[in-house]
A and B are shown apart, each in its own frame.
Chain A
């Protein structure tokens, strides 16, 4: 069963769709990526790009009666998609854990935080209540909560947003999972607190040798913490590469568009941002060709109706750089140099 060549987390051809009254929602289509322990993969994309749904599919949090999941999600040699609900449940919180965007609403308002942490311990470990409580207090201390012993007896509403996110992290990591999925963990927090939380995740990651999947739309965070980057658009992976290739040699027009829409204080070449025109596609009614084509400012370079009519394949450029685009390589490199040059402060 365990395959020595398989990555620690290996997602292959993950597809998730939800039947609704308006039609079939193609939330995620054919997404593949992999990550080893100790590494950080950032999944980047706009709202509705399928990044959170992918994460929830990996965690087994998608109700299989509500959504159809196909493909493979191998965690440490076990295929989660093929496992029973109860077997996946046993992995949740022990082998893989998740923290969410809004720490204000992600903790149960009626239970003390110590109780919520010890509950997480006692689902997966056969320990006494006192032991679980001690572990909870210890973990609260490790995520930097001052006076953890008395804080364990407080309710979530008595803590600040940053403190609550620390509690969420403590709860996620209390059973030392080897995979941590962080779904926009800092979006709801103050900027000053964001850095502390990211630092905390990074330090706990190296301590526990955790694989981290970080979902974000903030390219600044990506540049800081990610080893690899997967860019998603319209439920598809449109570009995947290591962090340097994404920032210096990205080739997919959508990735380049994201890079150009980052506000920069040192930019003098233009007095306003360069946002991507248009809106993300409806997941019920995807364009028949490249899902990004309606917003792409380079599709005229391909010629004919290729971009409108044909789904592009994910092309491998080098060992770990993949891109989904109909443009030929020379054009992609030319555009890439143009955009990244400007982005990194050069003169256009």
Chain B
């Protein structure tokens, strides 16, 4: 088991290394010129070239990549020979010349907002999705099942920016039920935090809940036809134990997989919801970096998001083994 984890962590690191290389090469062949972005409107080719040299952007791609990797472990200094060198301490994920800030600090600033958004929505959609999915499965074929399924289809097909705009227009602007969203950390103002987050949570959760409801329903329907469920009933177990313990446990595995990966994906930022509700998270950072062609930030976010997903994959595999004794790690 622990040998398995060590092996998985090593292959994870290798995967990340490869991924960073691919991302680096991809972004280096983009037509966007980072050196061009370092000077403002009054720009001459001479200044651009000077900046390009100063920041090491004239080096070959592989050498730039090497500098980037080295920076992760020992930090790096941009424009070392100029009068105002830029220090980026280890682990240096890059430097945004646009924002004049280290990429890692930008991500660190946005991460709490994104984590709160993702976790809150996760709780909402898991509770709603699983319970409604189980409900629909045990009421299969009835009008209740059909209602739940139709509502989920509507939830699944409505784009979140549409529901989000509707919610902002009616709940916040027209009916004044909630103040206009402005991010405050929960430790500073718990009530303001909840007032800001409740709508993003629900709107983000609707899309996922619809998917998890269908997933849970299908899983439950499959499991409820299994022989061991008939055995559980033949033992005289009450129906709630048959459903809640025997059936749900057996149907959980694909739900756990999907949940782990979805949550990890959300930690890389929920671009639409964050922009809509002006939440200063990773998603907002990503969208504004794309608008500004701020390549170092985009590379940094891509790598951080990828790391989340790869780590989530490992956790999901470990959970698999915890749920299903037939799964042997190794």
Asked if B228 and A108 make an inter-chain contact with CB atoms under 8 angstroms apart, the answer reads yes
Asked if A98 and B324 make an inter-chain contact with CB atoms under 8 angstroms apart, the answer reads no
Task: Quote the shortest CB–CB distance from A85 to chain B (angstroms).
Answer: 8
Stretch in A68-76, A118-126, A305-313 touching the partner: A118-126
**Could you say which residues of chain B place their CB within 8 Å of the CB of A98?**
234
Asked if B228 and A92 make an inter-chain contact with CB atoms under 8 angstroms apart, the answer reads no
In the complex, A193 Cα to B226 Cα: how many Å?
24
User: Is B278 an interface residue when CB atoms closer than 8 A count as contact?
Assistant: no
Asked if A61 and B230 make an inter-chain contact with CB atoms under 8 angstroms apart, the answer reads yes
Stretch in B122-130, B205-213, B235-243, B256-264 touching the partner: B235-243
Residue among A61, A91, A109 with the highest chain B CB neighbour number at 10 A? A109
The B-contacting residues of A in range 102-155, CB under 8 angstroms, are 102, 105-110, 119-120, 123-124, 155
**Could you say which residues of chain A place their CB within 8 Å of the CB of B227?**
100, 102, 105-106
Asked if B232 and A59 make an inter-chain contact with CB atoms under 8 angstroms apart, the answer reads no
**Could you say which residues of chain B place their CB within 8 Å of the CB of A120?**
235-236
* Given A155-B325, A157-B326: A109 in contact with B233 (beta carbons within 8 A): no
Task: Quote the shortest CB–CB distance from B108 to chain A (angstroms).
Answer: 40
In the complex, A157 Cα to B324 Cα: how many Å?
11
Task: Quote the shortest CB–CB distance from A146 to chain B (angstroms).
Answer: 21
Asked if B231 and A106 make an inter-chain contact with CB atoms under 8 angstroms apart, the answer reads yes
Contact of A93 among B230, B234, B239, B324 (CB under 8 A): B234
In the complex, A61 Cα to B236 Cα: how many Å?
10
* Given A100-B227, A155-B325, A157-B325: A108 in contact with B232 (beta carbons within 8 A): yes
Contact of A92 among B226, B234, B241 (CB under 8 A): B234
User: Is A216 an interface residue when CB atoms closer than 8 A count as contact?
Assistant: no
In the complex, A109 Cα to B237 Cα: how many Å?
17
User: Is B323 an interface residue when CB atoms closer than 8 A count as contact?
Assistant: yes
Report the nearest A residue to B326, measured CB to CB. A157
Asked if B236 and A100 make an inter-chain contact with CB atoms under 8 angstroms apart, the answer reads no
Contact of A59 among B226, B234, B249, B325 (CB under 8 A): B234
Task: Quote the shortest CB–CB distance from B314 to chain A (angstroms).
Answer: 21
Asked if A89 and B238 make an inter-chain contact with CB atoms under 8 angstroms apart, the answer reads yes
User: Is B54 an interface residue when CB atoms closer than 8 A count as contact?
Assistant: no
**Could you say which residues of chain B place their CB within 8 Å of the CB of A155?**
325-326
**Could you say which residues of chain A place their CB within 8 Å of the CB of B249?**
110
**Could you say which residues of chain A place their CB within 8 Å of the CB of B233?**
61, 89, 92
User: Is A44 an interface residue when CB atoms closer than 8 A count as contact?
Assistant: no
Task: Quote the shortest CB–CB distance from A125 to chain B (angstroms).
Answer: 11
User: Is A255 an interface residue when CB atoms closer than 8 A count as contact?
Assistant: no
User: Is B184 an interface residue when CB atoms closer than 8 A count as contact?
Assistant: no
Asked if B230 and A100 make an inter-chain contact with CB atoms under 8 angstroms apart, the answer reads yes
Asked if A97 and B324 make an inter-chain contact with CB atoms under 8 angstroms apart, the answer reads no
Asked if A171 and B228 make an inter-chain contact with CB atoms under 8 angstroms apart, the answer reads no
User: Is A49 an interface residue when CB atoms closer than 8 A count as contact?
Assistant: no
Report the nearest B residue to A103, measured CB to CB. B227
In the complex, A171 Cα to B236 Cα: how many Å?
11
Asked if A106 and B235 make an inter-chain contact with CB atoms under 8 angstroms apart, the answer reads no
User: Is A90 an interface residue when CB atoms closer than 8 A count as contact?
Assistant: yes
Report the nearest B residue to A63, measured CB to CB. B233
Asked if A108 and B231 make an inter-chain contact with CB atoms under 8 angstroms apart, the answer reads yes
Asked if A109 and B326 make an inter-chain contact with CB atoms under 8 angstroms apart, the answer reads yes
Report the nearest B residue to A105, measured CB to CB. B227
In the complex, A109 Cα to B230 Cα: how many Å?
13
**Could you say which residues of chain B place their CB within 8 Å of the CB of A92?**
233-236
In the complex, A110 Cα to B226 Cα: how many Å?
13
User: Is B250 an interface residue when CB atoms closer than 8 A count as contact?
Assistant: yes
Asked if A109 and B228 make an inter-chain contact with CB atoms under 8 angstroms apart, the answer reads yes
**Could you say which residues of chain B place their CB within 8 Å of the CB of A336?**
none
* Given A90-B236, A92-B236: A110 in contact with B231 (beta carbons within 8 A): no
The B-contacting residues of A in range 143-176, CB under 8 angstroms, are 155, 157, 168, 171-172
Asked if A108 and B234 make an inter-chain contact with CB atoms under 8 angstroms apart, the answer reads no
* Given A155-B326, A157-B326: A107 in contact with B231 (beta carbons within 8 A): yes
**Could you say which residues of chain B place their CB within 8 Å of the CB of A293?**
none
* Given A100-B227, A102-B227, A105-B228: A110 in contact with B323 (beta carbons within 8 A): yes
User: Is A94 an interface residue when CB atoms closer than 8 A count as contact?
Assistant: yes
Task: Quote the shortest CB–CB distance from A271 to chain B (angstroms).
Answer: 40
* Given A94-B236, A124-B236: A168 in contact with B231 (beta carbons within 8 A): yes
User: Is B98 an interface residue when CB atoms closer than 8 A count as contact?
Assistant: no
In the complex, A92 Cα to B233 Cα: how many Å?
8
**Could you say which residues of chain B place their CB within 8 Å of the CB of A109?**
228, 250, 324-326
In the complex, A86 Cα to B237 Cα: how many Å?
10
**Could you say which residues of chain A place their CB within 8 Å of the CB of B326?**
109, 155, 157
User: Is B36 an interface residue when CB atoms closer than 8 A count as contact?
Assistant: no
User: Is B52 an interface residue when CB atoms closer than 8 A count as contact?
Assistant: no
In the complex, A106 Cα to B230 Cα: how many Å?
8
User: Is B246 an interface residue when CB atoms closer than 8 A count as contact?
Assistant: yes
In the complex, A310 Cα to B58 Cα: how many Å?
98
Contact of A91 among B226, B228, B236, B241 (CB under 8 A): B236
**Could you say which residues of chain B place their CB within 8 Å of the CB of A123?**
235-238, 241
In the complex, A94 Cα to B239 Cα: how many Å?
16
8 CB contacts below 8 A, A to B, read A59-B234, A89-B239, A92-B235, A93-B236, A108-B232, A110-B325, A120-B235, A155-B326
Q: Which residues of A contact B (CB under 8 A)?
A: 59, 61, 86, 89-94, 97-98, 100, 102, 105-110, 119-120, 123-124, 155, 157, 168, 171-172
Task: Give the 5 A-B residue pairs with the shortest CB-CB distance, closest first.
Answer: A93-B236, A92-B236, A105-B227, A93-B235, A108-B228
Besides A89-B233, A91-B236, A102-B227, 12 other CB < 8 A contacts?
A61-B230, A89-B239, A90-B236, A92-B233, A94-B236, A97-B234, A105-B226, A108-B246, A110-B250, A120-B235, A155-B325, A171-B235
